[in-house]
A and B are shown apart, each in its own frame.
Chain A
């Protein structure tokens, strides 16, 4: 029997029990669809994170206190301060720019309005990345820091809430009871997948006010940009040297490049995708068991047919192939429909949950392979059972 004839025979058998085949198919459709949709969630997340990290540039270097070592040894870690950032700026020729910031909760007051917000204490280093995000006015300048000026740049929605349509530039607001002049307003960033963008309700203040207003001038991290890609390694060495000079040789700081962070994040996101795919795979397993169940019923029902086929000369392999083709056809048709449904599901998730799902070629390959594999895996036992029926017994079967 040719391949085409096998396929025709399988499909015609499946057609005689339309409802049953359709329900069995549904199990596979849902299984494959959930593999596709779940993987699209994982893959979409990975792409988003990767893109955002890549958007930062690949020549970034982050400096952090070694939190892990602190947690393990209990030793008081060395903390990073604004002075460290300044020292890196001066002492590392391979470093182009340095930005440093510290978050702190402050109260902003204007007239009767009062908002508790999370402010970013920083310096002019951030203006390279944030300058373009200004709606009006200017960002922090070197002089603001040096002269310890009481100036503030407000987030888009904060400015909107405080001043409405009026321009805020030049107005004084009270921050933690002290008077700050508004010198800039950021554009509104709009909503993100997590809701309102927190930077819209924020304010940028000179880092020199940090200690007085939040009780500390410790910073969580300093981010540096190497002059170009080739100097990333040099820049990291220079940063480590400067930190060792300032904090002693055994001071431990993590100095990592954005490239290695990107790599780690990608790895984690991939694992995440695989786990999500695995969760989808569970429903495929259930669907596959459904196929096996129906194939076993079908073999029992068609015992006599097997007997007739064997009596006229069908070999074991012929019967095996016949039933295996049925299971595989079920799984492949279900797989194809599942891919379409999964794709639609991914699009729906993207629309409703605002999660950037992405159906990758890889996930489709996984779906196709697992569909055909489950056809074989769950079809082989029933088919084997049919192939080994005794022709005399089978012919006598009522």
Chain B
């Protein structure tokens, strides 16, 4: 249901043209879990942005659930993000002045759900990540792990087809990180498609499949359980992978 074909992305800085993606093709089926790994500057964030409909490819095509989204307008992309995609960011990206509940409600606000229904669904999503009792706390009153769980609840609340997580444990201590991994795993078991961009081999190992990107190209693919071995070898080589 994710079908990217020969996706290229060129950033025109005015002086030079930087090719962040140089022809990436990727298919992800419903219910799969995929890790995108690769060193910094490899283009994995760019790929993530395109898969998440935050950006459009310069060339190539990208269709989501059978619908070509690579040529949609900004507002149409916003609607796709709202309905089909849930984001989990490394830096949580919660609205600092809003409570957990309000943060989780936010996507529903933009899909036009009535405020009473919104509240119910947001509470249910918070319950799923085990934070119902923190519904009225603001992000600065939450630990990093709790904040990320609120962010996951926000990603869940619209019942999206994919959850895109960009280094979800990057800013967390090991214990909170494990908690987040556990939740993502649970969600995957419930049938949600999950794509994770990560440096963390432990996360990658838990996914069904990994895709390694380097210099804007997919250089390796394999079963998630194999990733640990391969990245270990990687570290001996050039130490680019943290």
Is A395 on the interface with B (CB-CB < 8 A)? Answer: yes
- Do the beta carbons of B93 and A315 come within 8 Å of each other? no
Segment at the B interface, from A243-251, A278-286, A303-311: A303-311
Of residues 379 through 398 on chain A, the ones whose CB sits less than 8 Å from some CB of chain B are 391-392, 395
Any B CB within 8 A of the CB of A316: yes
A113 contacts the other chain (CB 8 A): no
Q: Which of B33-41, B62-70, B80-88, B223-231 is near enough to bind chain A?
A: B80-88
| Given the contacts A312-B81, A315-B78, A316-B74, A307 and B93 also touching, CB distance less than 8 Å | yes
Within 8 Å CB of B106, what residues of A? 308-309, 312
Complex CA distance for A216 and B111, rounded to whole angstroms: 90
Bound CA span A314–B158, Å: 13
Who on chain A is nearest to B76 by CB? A315
Could you say which residues of chain B place their CB within 8 Å of the CB of A310? Answer: 78, 81
A297-333 interface with B by 8 A CB criterion: 304-305, 307-318
**CA gap between A5 and B105 in the complex, in Å:** 13
Q: Does chain B have a CB within 8 A of A71?
A: no
Which B residues between 129 and 167 are near A, CB-CB below 8 angstroms?
Answer: 154, 158
Judging by beta carbons under 8 Å apart, are A392 and B93 in contact? no
Interface-central residue, A308, A310, A317, by most chain B CB under 10 Å: A308
Closest to A313 in B: B82
Contacts of A12 on B, CB cut-off 8 Å? Answer: 97
Residue of chain A at shortest CB distance from B75: A315
Partner of A313, one of B78, B93, B94: B78
User: Given known contacts A308-B93, A392-B54, is B49 in contact with A315 (CB within 8 Å)?
Assistant: no
Please state if B93 and A395 are interface contacts (CB–CB under 8 Å).
Answer: yes
Decide yes or no: A304 and B55 within 8 Å by CB, A313-B81, A315-B79 being known contacts. Answer: no
Is B75 touching A316 in the complex (CB atoms < 8 A)?
A: yes
Specify which chain B residues have a CB less than 8 angstroms from the CB of A315 in the assembled complex.
74-75, 78-79, 110
Contact B107 A313 (CB under 8 A): yes
Please tell me if the beta carbons of A1 and B54 are within 8 angstroms of each other in the complex. no
B54: A residues at CB distance < 8 A: 311, 391-392, 395
B109 part of interface (Cβ distance < 8 Å): yes
Q: Which of B49, B75, B78, B95 has the most CB of A within 10 A?
A: B78
| A304-B93, A311-B54, A316-B74 given; A1·B81 CB < 8 A | no
- For A318, what are the chain B residues with a Cβ–Cβ distance below 8 Å? 110
Smallest beta-carbon distance B112→chain A, Å: 8
The answer to whether A311 touches B111 (Cβ under 8 A) is no
Smallest CB-CB separation from B114: which chain A residue? A2
- Report if B89 contacts A (CB, 8 A): yes
* Nearest CB of B to A383, in Å: 16
Least CB distance, B83 to chain A, in whole angstroms = 7
> Are A395 and B89 within 8 A (Cβ)?
yes
Q: Does B115 contact A (CB under 8 A)?
A: yes
Does A16 have its Cβ within 8 Å of any Cβ on chain B?
A: yes
Q: Are B55 and A309 in contact (CB under 8 A)?
A: no
Q: Are A313 and B79 in contact (CB under 8 A)?
A: yes
Measured CB to CB, the nearest residue on chain B to A16 is B97
* Contact B87–A312 (Cβ < 8 Å): yes
Which of chain B's residues have a CB closer than 8 A to the CB of A305? Answer: 95
CA distance A309 to B95 in the complex (A): 9
Q: Please, which residues of chain B bring their CB within 8 A of the CB of A13? A: 97
Nearest-neighbor residue (CB-CB) of B80 within chain A = A313
Beyond A5-B115, A392-B54, whether A312 also contacts B107 by CB under 8 A is yes
> In the bound complex, how far is the Cα of B48 from the Cα of A309, in angstroms?
18
A100-126 CB mask vs B (1 if < 8 Å, else 0) is 000000000000000000000000000
Residue with the greatest number of chain B CB neighbours at <10 A, chosen from A304, A311, A318, A395: A311
Q: How far is the CB of B120 from chain A (nearest CB, A)?
A: 17
Q: Is B74 in contact with A313, judged by CB distance below 8 angstroms?
A: no
Query: Could you list 30 A-B pairs, sorted by A, with CB under 8 Å?
Result: A1-B110, A1-B112, A2-B115, A5-B115, A12-B97, A16-B97, A307-B93, A308-B93, A308-B95, A309-B106, A309-B110, A310-B78, A310-B81, A311-B52, A311-B54, A312-B81, A312-B87, A312-B106, A312-B107, A313-B78, A313-B81, A313-B107, A313-B110, A313-B111, A314-B78, A314-B110, A315-B110, A316-B75, A392-B54, A392-B55
Chain A interface residues toward B at CB < 8 A: 1-2, 5, 12-13, 16, 304-305, 307-318, 391-392, 395
Given contacts A304-B93, A309-B110, A315-B74, 4 further A-B contacts (CB under 8 A): A310-B78, A311-B87, A313-B78, A313-B110
Which A-B residue pairs are the 5 nearest by beta carbons?
A313-B82, A312-B107, A313-B110, A315-B75, A315-B78
